[in-house]
Amino acid sequence: MEKTPVYYYSSTSNLTGRFAEHLAEATGRAVHNLADAEVRKSEASGPWVLLTPSYKAGNADEVTLPAGVRSFLRSPTNRRRMVGIIGSGNRNFGVYYQAAARELATTSGRPVLFEFELAGTPEDVTHCAQILDEVDAAIAAAHPSDPAAP
């Protein structure tokens, strides 16, 4: 079964990036860093999952979704192929904890699959990997391969 890739954005703190890399190491799943201009300008070839941090820390007018994520989502193809969202945040943000993932889920109609704080824990990586395996199975069931294909 094909593993749905994860596209992520991480700031210089690299908290989200560390989680993405641990996820890749644990599962063999492809992860793509939206801080890389080539990745940001590309289009996903099939279903994909977004892993995004939230930056809103108390100012309601502050932009929540990182610019790299917004840039990638400008592509109608990328928006259409996104199947879910994983959120990274900081509980110190209070009501704005996970704001980017939750706001994007509302506007896109895609579910928040998992949320974790800062760089996550090994248990978070394991739990998220299980959820992504369920996503992979659901996609495979919805699009079974042609049994007549060689």
- Residue 148 binned pLDDT confidence (cut-offs 50, 70, 90): very low
Nearest 5°: the CA angle 75, 28, 133 is 75
Q: Is 107 exposed, middle or buried (0-12, 13-18, 19+ CB in 10 A)?
A: exposed
Dist. CA 96–CA 92, nearest whole Å: 9
pLDDT of residue 60: 62
Token code pair at residue 13: 């703190």
The yes-or-no verdict on residue 77 having pLDDT over 90 is yes
Task: Identify the residue with better confidence: 39 or 98.
Answer: 39
Residue 33 is given by DSSP the state E
- Three-class DSSP category at 93: helix
